[in-house]
């Protein structure tokens, strides 16, 4: 396996990238960040990714490059689109990235990348069995990792509870929209995570997203069978996970 790789994390507001040490997860370069182009269309986003890759000054054509993106991905095609142009739906995205960058990439969902990073370098390092990563933000992103193997494209934020797509009730955006107290929001999270546990029986649940820095306000209010902990890698998780997956021999990818 390579000792370092490039990770690119594409989001609805920003695109970030760095070269990552695959032994430690440390960023070997400054984290470069540029604004996501207005409208989030394919050609515009890919052009910004090329700028970042060029500015990183990669002098090794064999260095793995991983790109994570806010969509379900199958065979290099984006099947959905969150906070970017709907033109990505059904789009041959990986092919466009590879053509523009002039090199192969590994293309992965952003929550999957963050979850894998927490398993390799963060809160789930050394944990056996099933780990579920959840990101609480505009929606609820999820990733499943079983004994270190990533199970891709798990969209468990969309579980139906009480006849509703429950990310519309339990995401951080829902907390802000409905002006909920931490205690009231925790009741909604309790319903969501209890339902998740009833289906999958995880050993560990990790909570990411920007709100995780306030974990002391709401995680102690939850009563779950599994241990539930805040993510530790914060804004670098996508970069680190995309890089690690690009270089990994993980059979799931």
**What b/e sequence results for 56-95 when a residue is b if at least 16 CB atoms lie within 10 Å of its CB, and e otherwise?**
bebeeeebbbbbbbbbbbeebbbbbbbebbeebeebebbe
CB 116 within 8 A of CB 243: no
The pLDDT of residue 13 is: 87
The pLDDT of residue 87 is: 97
Q: What is the pLDDT along the chain (253 residues), one digit of tens a residue?
A: 569 999 999 998 899 999 999 999 999 999 999 999 999 999 999 999 999 999 998 878 889 999 999 999 999 999 998 889 999 999 999 999 999 999 999 999 999 999 999 999 999 999 999 999 999 988 899 999 999 999 999 999 999 999 999 999 999 999 999 999 999 999 999 999 999 999 999 999 999 988 999 999 999 999 999 999 999 998 899 999 999 999 984 333 3
- 145 vs 207: CA distance, rounded Å: 14
Q: At what angle do helices 42-56 and 93-101 cross, to 10 degrees?
A: 40
Phi-psi region of 130 (alpha: psi -120 to 50; beta: other; left: phi over 0): beta
Residue ranges of the alpha helices (H) in 65-142?
Answer: 93-101, 110-121
Q: At what angle do helices 110-121 and 237-247 cross, to 10 degrees?
A: 80
For the entire predicted model, the pTM comes to 0.90
| Degrees to nearest 5, angle at CA 130 with 124 and 135 | 60
Structure tokens at 156: 């468990």
- Nearest CA to 236 out of 3, 12, 1, 21 is that of 21
Going along the chain from its start, the domains and CATH numbers come out as 4-110+235-247 (3.30.420.40), 123-232 (3.30.420.40)
The pLDDT of residue 252 is: 38
């Amino acid at each position: 396996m390579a000792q370092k790789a490039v990770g690119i994390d594409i989001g609805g507001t920003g695109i970030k990238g760095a070269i990552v040490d695959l032994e430690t997860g440390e960023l070997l370069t400054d984290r470069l960040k540029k604004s996501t182009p207005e409208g989030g269309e394919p050609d515009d986003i890919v052009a910004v990714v090329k700028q970042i890759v060029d500015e990183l000054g990669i002098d090794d054509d064999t260095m793995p490059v991983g790109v994570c993106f806010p969509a379900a991905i199958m065979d290099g095609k984006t099947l959905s689109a969150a906070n970017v142009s709907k033109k990505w739906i059904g789009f041959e995205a990986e092919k466009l990235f590879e053509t523009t960058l002039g090199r192969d990439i590994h293309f992965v969902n952003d929550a999957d990348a963050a979850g894998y990073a927490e398993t390799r370098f963060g809160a789930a390092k050394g944990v056996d069995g099933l780990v579920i990563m959840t990101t609480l933000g505009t929606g609820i992103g999820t990733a499943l990792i079983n004994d270190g193997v990533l199970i891709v494209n798990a969209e468990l934020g969309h579980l139906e509870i009480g006849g509703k797509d429950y990310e519309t009730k339990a995401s951080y955006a829902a907390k802000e929209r409905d002006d909920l107290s931490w205690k009231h929001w925790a009741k909604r999270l309790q319903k969501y995570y209890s339902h998740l546990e009833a289906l999958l029986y995880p050993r560990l649940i990790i909570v990411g997203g920007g709100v995780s820095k306030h974990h002391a306000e709401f995680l102690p209010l939850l009563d779950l069978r599994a241990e539930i902990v805040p993510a530790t890698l914060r804004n670098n998780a996508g970069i680190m996970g995309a890089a690690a997956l690009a270089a990994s021999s993980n059979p799931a990818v």
